[in-house]
Amino acid sequence: MPERRCTLQFIYPELAPARRNWWPVTDKGVVDLCYVDPGFEVDLYVVTDLRTMTAVWMGLADATREVGSGRMQLTGSAELAQSMQRWLGLSPFAKERKRVPS
């Protein structure tokens, strides 16, 4: 992420209106997650379903492939869009071995 303040807006269209929008705001390495519009200009809009976003965060899918498939739309800063997989990182649980219930 750039050193300047960056505002992202994640939009999950299938969720109820009160839970549909989330705004992570980063500034010099500090991240604040807002569930109410913080009022800053949005640098990158991410529109996807929660299942796809969870798969990307868990390392089961790749953001670039999900964009290519149409399951994720990125609008705004090309720099942030191209580096999304890197700055998003992975859940700490992504390293766990996948288990199928018996």
**pLDDT tens digits for 26-56?**
999 899 999 999 999 999 999 999 999 999 9
- Structural domain total, the chain: 1
Question: Does residue 48 lie in a domain region?
Answer: yes
Residue 86 backbone dihedrals phi, psi, to 5 degrees: -70, -50
Model pLDDT, residue 95: 75
Question: In which domain, by residue range, is 86 found?
Answer: 6-90
Question: Does residue 46 lie in a domain region?
Answer: yes
Question: Does residue 36 lie in a domain region?
Answer: yes
The answer for residues whose C-beta is within 8 angstroms of residue 35's C-beta and 6 or more apart is 19, 21, 22, 23
Helix (H, G, I), strand (E, B) or coil at 20: coil
Q: Is the pTM of this model over 0.75?
A: yes
Question: Does residue 31 lie in a domain region?
Answer: yes
Question: Does residue 70 lie in a domain region?
Answer: yes
Q: What angle do CA 94, 100, 102 make, to 5 degrees?
A: 150
Question: Does residue 95 lie in a domain region?
Answer: no
Question: Does residue 97 lie in a domain region?
Answer: no
CATH number at residue 51: 3.30.1050.10
Question: Does residue 22 lie in a domain region?
Answer: yes
